[in-house]
Chains A and B, each alone.
Chain A
Amino acid sequence: MTSELTGKVPSRRAFLKGAVAAGGALAGAGAAQASGDKLITEVQPWMSELGDGVDAAPYGSPSQFEANVKRRTVEWLTADPISSINFTPLHELDGILTPNGLCFERHHGGAAQIDPADHRVMINGLVDQPLVFTMADLMRFPRENQIFFLECAANSGMEWRGSQLNGCQFTHGMIHNVMYTGVKLKHLLDEAGVKPSGQWLLAEGADAAGMTRSIPMEKAMDDCLVAWKMNGEALRPEQGYPVRLVVPGWEGNMWIKWLRRLEVGDQPWHQREETSKYTDLLENGQARRFTWEMDAKSVITNPSPQAPITHSKGPTVLTGVAWSGRGTIPQVDVTTDGGINWHKARISGPSLDKAMHRFYFEFDWDGKPLLLQSRAHDSTGYVQPTKDALRKFRGVNSIYHNNGIQTWAVNSQGEAENVEIS
C-alpha cells in the first residue's frame, strides 16, 4: 500500500522545496570551506589498509559501530535477572523482521541449554497413542514458513498509571517478529490421534520453570506451529532452542519455549501463568482470565526518546511498527499535533496476518515542538484506543494487554519524551 503526500499532509511540493533549500545550503557551506570534508579530501585508513579476511568472524557480528544496538533490561522490574525480562531495541530497527540476537528475552527459570540430541517431545493425555518424538522425527514432518509477531502480554504494562519509561525499547520492546520454520501442531496431534473429548492442550517447557499453559484445541488445530528455526537459523537458546511453540496472535507467554510435552485434556489446567499471572485485574476487583488475543497496537519508533531528531528543520522521516493478533493492519494514522489532525501513514513491506507492519510518514518539520502519536486499524475494523479509553474498561491495575496509543513529545531540539496528553 502506498499513500500519497497530499492534502493536509505537508505537500510534496513543500517537501521538495525543503529538500532543495537544504541541498542549496549544504552546497554553499561546502564551497565556503576550501579544504572540504577531510573524510573526502584525505585518504582514509580503510581505503588504504586491508580489511579483515573472509574467516575473521565465521559467525558474523554487527559492526563495532552498532554496539549501542542491544537488548536492555530494567533492573527494578524483577527480583533477579534469571526470572526477568529485557527489551528489543525497536528504535534501532527498520523493516519488519527482528534480528535473532535482538529478540527480547523473558524467562521464568533462566534460558535452558539443551543438546537437541537429548531433547524429546511427548504427546500424552486423551490421545489414541501417547508418542515421543526426537528432533530428527520432527524434521520428517512437512514444514511451514510463516512470519508472526510475538508480544508479551505485559508489553507496555508499566505505563498503565501514566508515562513512566523514556524509550520505545522499554515501553514497547517486549515484542519481536521473525519467520518461523516448523511443523503444524495439528500434524503432531493427528499423529497421536486426539480423542473427541480432548478439547484442551497443555504445553510444557523443559526449563527450570517447567512453564505450562492451557490452549484450546481449536487454536492448536488451527494455526499453531512447533518451530525449530527463526529467520532461517536454529532458534536461539533464549528463544527456546531446540524447539518452541508458535501461537500466532496470542500472548507470548503461551508460546512455550524448550517445548517438551503436549498433553490433551478435557478442561483447562489453570496453571500458575494463567491464574496468578496473565489474568487482568479490573477496577471492581474481578479478573479476566484467558485473555489470549493481542489487540491491535502501534508505536512510533523514530523519533522517540532514545532516537531523537538529530537534524534541523526540513525533511523528516517518521517511522514505526503496528500489529494485531486478529489479522493484518490495513491502515495506520499518524498525528504530529497531539491528535488534532491525523494523516494516513504509508505502509511499506509485506502486510501479513498476525505479523508486524512497518509504516512511514515523511513530513517537513518546521522545527517546532511536536506531539506524535500513531493509531493502528486492524482488518477486523478495530481501531487502537487512547490510553484513557482503555482505562475506562480496565482501570490501571490489569498489568497486561495495554495497547493504548503512545505519545512522544518532541521539543524544538528534536528530543523526545514519553508523555500523556489530554
Chain B
Amino acid sequence: MSKFLKMLAASTVVVIVAGPALAGPLGLGRAATLDEVSAWDIDIRPDGQGLPEGEGSVLVGEEIFAEKCAICHGDFAEGVDRWPVLAGGQGTLRDARPVKTIGSYWPYLSTVWDYVHRAMPFGEAQSLEPDETYAIVAYLMYSNDLVDEDFVLSKANFAEQHLPNEENFFLDDRGAEGGELETFRSGDVCMENCKSDVEITARAAIIDVTPEDAEARKARETQQEGKAESQEPDTGAGVPASDSASDSGTASEPEAQDEAALDPELLKAGKKVFRKCKACHQVGEGAKTRTGPVLNGVIGRHMAAEAGFKYSKTLTGMGDEGMVWDEANLAEFLKKPRAFVNKTKMSFAGLKKDEDIAAVTEYLRSFAH
C-alpha cells in the first residue's frame, strides 16, 4: 500500500467505511446494474461468447448489404474508391500486393460480427439488430465463397464456422532465438570506416506523392503577407490585422437584406444533425465530393449536378428533366430517400424528425456556394 493510501486509511477511516460497501480499497464508484452491463458489453469472442440469439440468411443479408453497406464497400464487397475490400483476395498474401479481406486474411468470424454490430454502418454505428448482423455476416461469408446462397448463420451454428486464414497467425516472435531482438542486440556496432562507399538507391522526389510542397509554398507566401500586414497600423486592440481588415470590409458593404436570413439556433442544431451525413458528404470551404457529392450550394441547383459524382439513374433523370433542389423536395428526400428517389445511391434510412430536416436544411442553406 502506498504512503498516500496508508495515510488516507489512517486519517479517513470513517469516510471509507461510510462509502458504498464494495470490494475495492477506496470504495469509489458504484455497482453496475445488470442492464447497464448488458447494454455496453457487446463484444463477441471467437468462441462465440457474447453472441445474442438470432439468425440471418445470405439472401436477406444481400438486401441489407445493398441498402446499408454497398455505397462504400460495393455491391459485391469489392470496395469502392479506397474503402475496404471485404471479399476476394484469397491466395494473395504472399504476393507483392496482398489483398487482405475477410476471406483472405481475417482469422475469426466473430470479429466480423462484433465489428459490423459495433461500428457499422459508418456514421450509424450500433443501429443494426442482431438478426440483421447475422444476415450481413452470412452474406459476407457468401461473398468470400465460404458458404452457399441458401446458408443461414445463427447463434447455434456460429462456433462451427471458421475462416480459412485462421492458422496463419502466430504470436509476436521478435524475442525468439535468432529473431529480431537477438540480432539487433548483438552489440557489434561500427563507428568508424564502416563501409567504403555509399550510393543512393531510392529517392522520394521521384515518387513525388508528398502533399507538403505546394502547401508549404502557400504557407510561406501567407507568412510573408502576414509580415506585411503586421507593419500596417492595427485598427483595434486585440484584433489581428487580418481579421480587422476583413471586418471593416464587410461593414463597408451594404448589409444583405435577405428575407430568408439564417436562424442561428436552427443553424446550430443543423450542424449537429449533419453529423449523420458527414460520413459521406462534405460541405463548406474546401469541401469535396467523396463517398457522396459535395453539398455546397445544393439548394437551388439542379438535381444530380455535381460533375464528380456518379448519381443513380433516377436522380440523373430528374436532373435532366430540370428538377431543382428546393427546401420542399429536399425535405421529402431526407424523410425517406428511397421513396423520393427510387434506387438512390444514398444508403441512409432518412431523418425521422421534421425539426431535424428543417435544421439540416438551414445548415445546408448557410453554404450557398
Residues of A within 8 A of B (CB): 8, 44-46, 49-50, 52-53, 55-57, 64-65, 67-68, 72-76, 78-80, 82-83, 108-110, 122-125, 128-134, 137, 140-142, 162-167, 169-170, 187, 190-193, 202, 204, 208-210, 212, 260-261, 263, 265, 267, 269-272, 275-276, 279, 281, 283-293, 295, 305-306, 333, 337-343, 371, 375, 377, 380-385, 389-390, 393, 397, 409, 417-422
| Docked-complex contact A290 and B209, CB < 8 angstroms | no
A75 to B267 CA separation, bound complex (whole angstroms): 29
Q: Which of A78, A162, A291 contacts B202 (CB 8 A)?
A: A162
Interface string of B169-194 (1 = CB under 8 A from A): 11111100001110111110111111
Q: Which residues of A contact B107 (CB under 8 A)?
A: 270, 275
Q: Which residues of A contact B161 (CB under 8 A)?
A: none
Q: Which residues of B contact A384 (CB under 8 A)?
A: 184
Q: Closest Cβ of chain A: how far from B1's Cβ, in Å?
A: 11
- Chain B stretch 91-122: residues in CB contact (< 8 A) with chain A: 93-94, 98, 100, 102, 105-108, 110-111, 114-115, 118-119, 122
A384 to B180 CA separation, bound complex (whole angstroms): 11
- Chain B stretch 323-341: residues in CB contact (< 8 A) with chain A: none
Q: Which of A65, A129, A263 has the most CB of B within 10 A?
A: A129
A270-B45, A270-B111 known; 4 new pairs, CB 8 Å cut-off, are A129-B24, A131-B32, A305-B210, A383-B187
Within 8 Å of chain A (Cβ to Cβ): is B237?
yes
Q: Which of B42, B219, B279 contacts A82 (CB 8 A)?
A: B279
A101 to B187 CA separation, bound complex (whole angstroms): 39
In the complex, number of A-B residue pairs with CB atoms less than 8 Å apart? 312
| Docked-complex contact B30 and A50, CB < 8 angstroms | no
Within 8 Å of chain A (Cβ to Cβ): is B36?
yes
A207 to B184 CA separation, bound complex (whole angstroms): 39
Q: Which residue of A lies closest to B208 (CB)?
A: A166
Q: Closest Cβ of chain A: how far from B283's Cβ, in Å?
A: 13
| Docked-complex contact B28 and A281, CB < 8 angstroms | no
Q: Which residue of B lies closest to A261 (CB)?
A: B40
Q: Which residue of A lies closest to B81 (CB)?
A: A79
| Docked-complex contact B211 and A75, CB < 8 angstroms | yes
Within 8 Å of chain A (Cβ to Cβ): is B230?
yes
| Docked-complex contact A383 and B115, CB < 8 angstroms | no
| Docked-complex contact A419 and B204, CB < 8 angstroms | yes
Within 8 Å of chain A (Cβ to Cβ): is B82?
yes
| Docked-complex contact A289 and B172, CB < 8 angstroms | yes
Q: Which residues of B contact A272 (CB under 8 A)?
A: 111, 114-115, 119
Within 8 Å of chain A (Cβ to Cβ): is B257?
no
Within 8 Å of chain A (Cβ to Cβ): is B307?
no
Q: Given A64-B226, A381-B187, are A129 and B23 also a contact pair (CB < 8 Å)?
A: yes
In the A-B complex, list the 3 residue pairs whose CB atoms are closest, starting with the nearest. A191-B24, A338-B198, A56-B238
A131 to B36 CA separation, bound complex (whole angstroms): 10
A377 to B32 CA separation, bound complex (whole angstroms): 47
Count of residues in B whose CB is under 8 Å from the partner chain: 105
| Docked-complex contact B210 and A165, CB < 8 angstroms | yes
Q: Closest Cβ of chain B: how far from A177's Cβ, in Å?
A: 22
- Listed by A's residue number, 26 A-B pairs whose Cβ atoms lie within 8 Å are A49-B233, A64-B226, A74-B209, A163-B203, A164-B204, A170-B210, A170-B212, A191-B24, A191-B25, A202-B43, A209-B119, A260-B40, A263-B41, A267-B47, A271-B114, A287-B93, A287-B168, A288-B172, A289-B171, A339-B194, A340-B198, A377-B189, A383-B189, A389-B183, A419-B201, A420-B200
A350 to B92 CA separation, bound complex (whole angstroms): 47
Within 8 Å of chain A (Cβ to Cβ): is B353?
no
Q: Which of A80, A82, A130 contacts B31 (CB 8 A)?
A: A130
Q: Which residues of A contact B279 (CB under 8 A)?
A: 80, 82
Q: Given A190-B24, A276-B106, are A65 and B234 also a contact pair (CB < 8 Å)?
A: no
A110 to B41 CA separation, bound complex (whole angstroms): 22
| Docked-complex contact B226 and A65, CB < 8 angstroms | yes
| Docked-complex contact A83 and B122, CB < 8 angstroms | yes
| Docked-complex contact A208 and B119, CB < 8 angstroms | yes
Q: Which residues of B contact A419 (CB under 8 A)?
A: 200-204
Q: Which of A49, A340, A382 contacts B181 (CB 8 A)?
A: A382
A302 to B269 CA separation, bound complex (whole angstroms): 46
Q: Which of A53, A72, A76, A285 has the most CB of B within 10 A?
A: A285
A125 to B42 CA separation, bound complex (whole angstroms): 12
Q: Which residues of A contact B226 (CB under 8 A)?
A: 64-65, 67
Q: Which of B43, B173, B184 contacts A204 (CB 8 A)?
A: B43
| Docked-complex contact A382 and B82, CB < 8 angstroms | no
Q: Which residues of A contact B52 (CB under 8 A)?
A: none
| Docked-complex contact B24 and A192, CB < 8 angstroms | yes
Q: Which residues of A contact B179 (CB under 8 A)?
A: 393
Within 8 Å of chain A (Cβ to Cβ): is B342?
no
Q: Which residues of A contact B230 (CB under 8 A)?
A: 45-46, 64
Q: Which residues of B contact A64 (CB under 8 A)?
A: 226, 230, 240, 242
| Docked-complex contact B26 and A191, CB < 8 angstroms | yes
